[in-house]
Amino acid sequence: MDKVLPKVITTFVFLKLIKNICLFEFLCLSFFLFLFTNKWVHLIQTIIWITISFSFTFSFIR
HEC secondary structure over the chain: CCCHHHHHHHHHHHHHHHCCCCHHHHHHHHHHHHHHCCCHHHHHHHHHHHHHHHHHHHHHHC
Quote the Cα angle for 58-41-6, to 5°: 50
pLDDT at 49: 79
Give pLDDT < 50 ranges for the chain. Answer: none
pLDDT at 38: 59
Predicted TM-score (pTM) of the model is 0.33
